[in-house]
Structure 1
Amino acid sequence: MSPINDPAKWQSLLPWPAADTHKHVRGRLGVVSGGALSTGAARLAARSGLRIGAGLVKVFCPPDAASVLAPTLEAVMLTSFATADQLTTLAQPMDAVVMGPAAGLTEATAANVAALARTGAALVVDADALTLFRDRAGDLFNYLDRDDVLTPHEGEFERLFPGLLIKGREVAALEAAGRAGCVVVLKGAATVVAAPDGRCIINGNGSPWLATAGSGDVLAGMIGGLLAQHMDSFDAACAAVWIHADAAKRFGPGLLAEDLPDLIPAVLRDLYPS
């Protein structure tokens, strides 16, 4: 059985700023939004990435979503794109990009995944950008490298890796990471994080209060925020999963996904080296 996720395994690797650090050194995170009626997931991911330490966070949105997003964003920047090629150009300076939450099950989303793969940014691929590649998972895997992270729940995992879950979550996640060539975060009550090099860890501080819409979007943003700060992808995923669950436990009953980003600083404060 794989080890249990514990801060002792990654706490010393968290990317704390130094006295002379500026925002670009802290990393640049991009988040791709869905259309005008599907912007909430991107806002959750973007705020979470900013809260976990990324120095600059920018949302990339279709033109029809810009007027919806602009009044709702403050520290998070915003720019629109009309084509996949434009997205490639706009995302080029980013260190990491979150793609998939409420992106839409359309070929435009598939084209946007391919466009982001051309940037060199570390990718967090979630939600619609996973489901879209059902029956053609190889196309998605061709876009990925070892710095990227897939964040499926069991339903999305089954679409990409049909039949694997029958082997058990740990074995399935490890085999999936090998097939995809990147880190896989198999979400659930005991989330499994697996890397293609054979590293695997089981999260032991899961919280039932995370069973609420949007909590996965927050986790994607948290992983992206740590990747933007150049944390190793496996360590970033392990840290984000634990911090995410600890934040939920601190709030308890009545938790909404909107609450989670603002709970992150208290968890980080307790992890900060004294």
Structure 2
Amino acid sequence: MSFRCTLSDEHVIERPVLLVPPADTHKYARGSAMAFSGPALRTGASRLTAQAALAVGAGLVTLVGEYEALKEHAAHVTAIMLREADADLTVVDDRVRAAAIGPGAGISSETRETVMHLLTKGLPLVLDADAITSFADNPAELFEQIHDQVVLTPHEGEFARLFPAIDLADRLTAARLAADVSGAVVLLKGPETVVAAPDGRLAINRHASPWLATAGSGDVLAGLICGVLAQGNTAFEAACIAAWLHGDIGVRGGPGLTADRMADLIPLVLAGCLGDGNAHDTRPRP
């Protein structure tokens, strides 16, 4: 485990502690993660996800997709591996510790099929954006296959499509009910992000910034969760840790923050989580 997550008595997520890897570690020991790409001309979102997973500490990250999409990725990434998808997902071998799908994937039967196939493999999984909305017509199909190491990351619109019977007026209750109904950890995005587990655990992240309200920000959050999952944290822990780290990116980035700059801020965020964090925290104090 590379992070330790703590909650206050009020279930508020506190700054996680980053644990230094042992001297004899290697890339597979730090965790292998996968992000599933969208089609050609829609690759940016999944690339943000992969870049965040790598920056947050996964030892190896692979983008999986169609050949034409991978050619686009190849023009932008160097440290991230590229693998062509196949119908049986043989690319997902037993070294893969976590995967993320949804950003830029497209709302389609193909996305549904890939999600269902990934669920049969039982590995920790982040379902975001199009991977959620692709099941809007039949949420029960998804819920029947979900296990407790799946993280759903809806904003309120996606939440309403997947859980139409749950009232969002009380966000804490809504997230808890959704986790119970789906069997997944549910991270409900918003100014105060709520994380709920199917066993009843609940957490709230208040460490955030309105500068995070920019296109692609959620794709970065999906990558943070995936990267933390790949390092051995449980789904609930990973969602809590990633919510705080994502919020800290917003605090540090400030005005003018865009999603394609967020990965560059992750090393500063992580440095602030080492030890007591004070020696590495360069933010101005009131």
Normalising by the smaller structure, the TM-score range is: over 0.9
3-state secondary structure, aligned to 1:25: helix
Query: Which whole-Å CA distance do the structure 1 matches of 2:252 and 2:167 have between them?
Result: 31
Q: Which runs of 4+ in 1 moved over 6 A?
A: none
Query: Which whole-Å CA distance do the structure 2 matches of 1:112 and 1:63 have between them?
Result: 16
Q: Which residue of 2 aligns with 1:92?
A: 93
Q: Which residue of 2 aligns with 1:34?
A: 38
Q: Which residue of 1 aligns with 2:64?
A: 60
Query: Which whole-Å CA distance do the structure 1 matches of 2:150 and 2:62 have between them?
Result: 19
Q: Which amino acid is the alignment partner of residue 224 of structure 2?
A: M
8 Å CA contact 1:92, 1:121 repeated in 2:
no
Q: Which residue of 2 aligns with 1:104?
A: 106
Cα deviation code 1:177-226 (max 9, x no counterpart): 11111110000011000001111011111210011000000000000000
- % of aligned pairs identical? 48
Counterparts of 1:201-220 in structure 2, within 5 Å, are: 201-220=203-222
Q: Shift of the alpha carbon at 1:114?
A: 1.2
Higher mean Cα deviation, 67-76 or 223-232? 67-76
Q: Which residue of 2 aligns with 1:156?
A: 158
Query: Which whole-Å CA distance do the structure 1 matches of 2:70 and 2:62 have between them?
Result: 12
8 Å CA contact 2:122, 2:147 repeated in 1:
no
Query: Which whole-Å CA distance do the structure 2 matches of 1:81 and 1:226 have between them?
Result: 23
Q: Shift of the alpha carbon at 1:106?
A: 1.1
TM-score by length of 1: 0.94
Out of 119, 142, 145, the position equivalent to 2:144 is 142
Counterparts of 1:63-74 in structure 2, within 5 Å, are: 63-74=67-78
When you count helix as a share of all residues, which structure comes out higher?
Answer: 1
Query: Which whole-Å CA distance do the structure 1 matches of 2:204 and 2:54 have between them?
Result: 26
Q: Shift of the alpha carbon at 1:16?
A: 3.5
Q: Which amino acid is the alignment partner of residue 32 of structure 1?
A: F
Counterparts of 1:164-183 in structure 2, within 5 Å, are: 164-183=166-185
In structure 2, the gaps of 5 or more residues are 1-8, 277-286
In structure 1, the gaps of 5 or more residues are none
Cα deviation code 1:91-145 (max 9, x no counterpart): 1331100011110111111110011112222100000010111131111112211
TM-score by length of 2: 0.90
Query: Which whole-Å CA distance do the structure 1 matches of 2:116 and 2:194 have between them?
Result: 26
Counterparts of 1:122-271 in structure 2, within 5 Å, are: 122-271=124-273
Query: Which whole-Å CA distance do the structure 1 matches of 2:53 and 2:37 have between them?
Result: 14
Q: Which amino acid is the alignment partner of residue 230 of structure 1?
A: G
Computed over aligned residues only, the root mean square deviation of the Cα atoms, in angstroms, reads 1.4
Q: Which amino acid is the alignment partner of residue 236 of structure 2?
A: F
Count of aligned positions: 267
Query: Which whole-Å CA distance do the structure 1 matches of 2:233 and 2:20 have between them?
Result: 11
Counterparts of 1:7-26 in structure 2, within 5 Å, are: 7=15, 10-11=16-17, 14=18, 16-26=20-30
8 Å CA contact 1:207, 1:249 repeated in 2:
yes
Higher mean Cα deviation, 251-260 or 117-126? 117-126
Cα deviation code 1:146-166 (max 9, x no counterpart): 111000000000001113134
Cα deviation code 1:25-50 (max 9, x no counterpart): 00000000010111001110001000
8 Å CA contact 2:166, 2:174 repeated in 1:
yes
Q: Which residue of 2 aligns with 1:43?
A: 47
8 Å CA contact 2:19, 2:274 repeated in 1:
no
3-state secondary structure, aligned to 1:29: strand
Query: Which whole-Å CA distance do the structure 1 matches of 2:111 and 2:62 have between them?
Result: 18
Say yes or no: does 1:3 pair with 2:5: no
Q: Shift of the alpha carbon at 1:247?
A: 1.2
Q: Shift of the alpha carbon at 1:270?
A: 1.3
Query: Which whole-Å CA distance do the structure 1 matches of 2:210 and 2:168 have between them?
Result: 24
Q: Which amino acid is the alignment partner of residue 236 of structure 1?
A: A
8 Å CA contact 1:15, 1:229 repeated in 2:
no
Cα deviation code 1:53-83 (max 9, x no counterpart): 0000000011221211112111000011242
3-state secondary structure, aligned to 1:201: strand
Query: Which whole-Å CA distance do the structure 1 matches of 2:162 and 2:212 have between them?
Result: 23
Q: Which amino acid is the alignment partner of residue 23 of structure 2?
A: A
